[in-house]
Amino acid sequence: MRRNIWIDTDPGIDDAIAIAAAFASTDRLKICGISTVAGNQTIDIVTDNALWLTELLGGKEVSVVRGAEHPLIRRPHPVGRVHGEHGLGYVIPDKPARTLTSAQGAAFLYQAIRDLPGEEKMTLVPIGPLTNIALLLGTYPKIRQKIDQIVLMGGSAREGNITATAEYNIWADPEAAEMVFQSGVPIVMCGLDVTMKCLLTMEEILKLKKAGPIQQQFARMLEFYFDSTAYRGKGSVAMHDSVPFLYLLQEEKFSGEHHVMHVSCTEDSCRGMTCVCDGAYTYSQTEKPQNVYVLKDVDAAWFTQELMERLMRY
């Protein structure tokens, strides 16, 4: 049976590639809907991008709902230097022809999960800041019974990327992340420890460029990513947001550890840190439930091959 998934996203270049991988995997993944969240770009931009992506990828019947305009407490922190002023690198998307399904993101997501038939459950796949997921779980706590797990891109057991200590999605809304990590819902954390091993090189991008018109759009996004301050001169780019989807397709290609997980919600250089809270991360001395399965390793060659295989299906 196909797995029900809900994508929460801030497209965003790597979000776009991940959504393309998901739409190329509907034989295994039933995409119940997409909610947008302010992150890589403003809520207006990421929402238009999500609508445009569903048209580009042949999924315009999939619900797209507009989510949180800003984090629970912090200020939005778009990263145009990495994703471009329109959020999709060198691709300037047309105004989407289709319209939003709803502008009430968390409420719509609650109804979508509540209304799943019988014993069916939802797998939540957040690949941006966790604001919407925190609002969902905080506003409708009983909905946890219909969520089988949250497979999220975020966090790090070691160094960060937006700061020396924190990964962007967690750093952008640390209070939301702490609420989600403490919700009691089983969590798989696809953090930088594993996502920085999940790479595409210029070789793959040139292959995309020679393929069809849709792959050429992916290539134009990725070329910007390559040129960005995050990856300039590094020879490869991390496909962070594709990791949760490929994990759901073949989890045996990944390995990890169960840990107690808290998020640092300070204002200092530890903001968004997920590695040393509640005692030393790896040597936690507490009796708290190990609520998070932290991915640490992957068959990196398989990841690149599998992601490309799906991107080439269009």
Taking CB atoms, the residue at the shortest distance from ligand RIB is 168
Contact between 48 and ligand RIB per CB under 6 A: no
* 312 in Cβ contact with 251 (< 8 Å): no
* 203 in Cβ contact with 104 (< 8 Å): no
* 3 in Cβ contact with 28 (< 8 Å): yes
Which region among 2-10, 57-65, 118-126, 199-207 touches Ca ion (by CB under 5 A)?
2-10
**Per-residue exposure over 161-187, b if at least 16 CB sit within 10 Å of its own CB, e if not:** bbeebbbbbbbbbbbbbbbbbebebeb
Contact between 174 and Ca ion per CB under 5 A: no
The tokens for 19 are 């959504």
Kindly tell me which residue out of 128, 244, 256, 272 binds ligand RIB, with binding defined by CB under 6 A. Answer: 128
How many residues bind ligand RIB (CB under 6 A)? The answer is: 15
Strands 122-126 and 3-9: parallel
* 236 in Cβ contact with 203 (< 8 Å): no
Q: Please say which residue, 238 or 275, places its beta carbon nearer to Ca ion.
A: 238
Count other C-beta atoms under 10 Å from residue 237's C-beta: 24
Q: Which residues within the stretch 224-243 sit at the binding site for Ca ion (CB under 5 A)?
A: 241
Contact between 15 and Ca ion per CB under 5 A: yes
Q: How far is the CB of 206 from Ca ion (least distance, A)?
A: 24
* 120 in Cβ contact with 4 (< 8 Å): yes
How many residues bind Ca ion (CB under 5 A)? The answer is: 6
Q: Which residues within the stretch 12-41 sit at the binding site for ligand RIB (CB under 6 A)?
A: 12, 14-15, 39-40
* Angle (nearest 5°) at CA 273 between 269 and 279: 110
Kindly tell me which residue out of 84, 126, 128, 160 binds Ca ion, with binding defined by CB under 5 A. Answer: 128
Contact between 127 and Ca ion per CB under 5 A: yes
Count other C-beta atoms under 10 Å from residue 99's C-beta: 7
Site string for Ca ion, 69-108 (x = CB under 5 A): ----------------------------------------
Which region among 163-171, 177-185, 209-217, 243-251 touches ligand RIB (by CB under 6 A)?
163-171
Residue 244 binds which entry of ligand RIB, Ca ion, none, with Cβ cut-offs from 5 to 8 Å by kind?
none
| Strand (E) or helix (H) holding 179 | helix 174-181
Interacting residue ranges for Ca ion, rule: CB under 5 A: 10, 12, 15, 127-128, 241
Interacting residue ranges for ligand RIB, rule: CB under 6 A: 10, 12, 14-15, 39-40, 127-128, 153, 161, 167-169, 240-241
